[in-house]
Structure 1
Amino acid sequence: MANIWHPVGGICLTDLGNKRYLFQFFNEVEVQRVISSTPWFFNSHLLILQRIQKGENLLVLALNSTEFWVQVHELPTGLMSESMAKQFGDFLGKFLNYDTSVSSLGHKTHMRIRVCLDVTAPLKRKKKIQMREAMLVYARFKYEKLSPFCFICGKLGYGESYCPFQLKIEPSKIIYGCDLSLVQPRWGTTVVSKWSRTKWITMSC
């Protein structure tokens, strides 16, 4: 992660146990840059980053949400507005931002919204929209930089081989509710530690 983030002042890492780690940066600029560019991954596993507040117990801190860019496809042009982006964002999780620069040769093909997602909840594939004259359309979602998820229950963090529903349902009756249509490609990662440091000054997420 240090090699990916390239922190100018270096970074320190402390293993807190129970799959929790403390990343300690040396200036506020680096902290903001890393947080604003989430999600991040290590060996294809999603990292849940949260800024630490003074006095918080790091071992019981709830780590269940992170930010994603989500694309909204198959919408009529007239519905591609900021007000609709906010509705979609709050439907998916919590709306944060709307990317107004998305276009294709002057014509928008999709919307792009920044959303804070609850990673313990299933990913949402689509949303039904009632239009005038009894016309229905379905907005379909694609998640950028999506980590491994279960095609059965739609939750992040594991594949269908580890899905708890497999213990309750006969294999022949399992329904795969998700597929790769939810995924937008992302770049790979590397693990090199030339940016590491052994002494820390300030701490963040």
Structure 2
Amino acid sequence: MFFAVSYTWLMWPHPASSGARKRSRSPASLILFGVLVALVLALCLLYGNSFLWLFIGISAIAGVTLPMRSAFVAVVIFTLLPLGISVGASGGIARVDWLQIIPLMLLVRGIGVDMIGAARLSGAIRELQAAREELARLAVIEERQRLSRDLHDLLGHTLSMITLKSELAGRLVEQEPARAIQEIREVERAARHTLREVREAVAGYRHPRLESELCARGSD
């Protein structure tokens, strides 16, 4: 029961998930792993071959809990331990049940190596995801800066012209009302034209982003 609960705590929700990896690398998890190894060794030494199958779980935990090189060494050791214990319990290598021990050793090795590979793959996936998020963040910043530059180019000259014509119309409104009205109409046309350009520019930024979002979701 203790072994099952400990194994579940170390490996759940998935040995390659970020939550399980962080939990499995904690000092408490390493201590628990050592306790499980000692428990399995004690059971095997006391009861012989009946508990050798527990090395499958120990090898899986080692693949997730330990760093890669240490995990490979541990998997090799846990692969050979059932053979050594079986030889000692049987009274000699000639009495070993090879039909039982060979499949067990293959399982111990295979599960351990698979967990090491799953852990490495999970790490690579997390690094790739972090890189994608960073690229997306930089792309948003770059897009905002480009939009700011484009709006500055669009509005800078026009707003200066609108300001000058508005001041001119204010001075002419009493002396030359007709010309003042003409200047005000030009200001209105310039403002409408600029508003249309700004809307087109903003729409041009929105559509590619929507398409890119759809492509990104489709690829996921």
Normalising to structure 2: TM-score of the pair?
0.23
Bigger share in helix: 2
Q: TM-score, normalised by structure 1?
A: 0.24
Structure with greater contact order relative to length (CA < 8 Å, sep ≥ 6): 1
Q: Say which structure is richer in strand.
A: 1
Asked which structure has the greater CA Rg, the reply is: 2
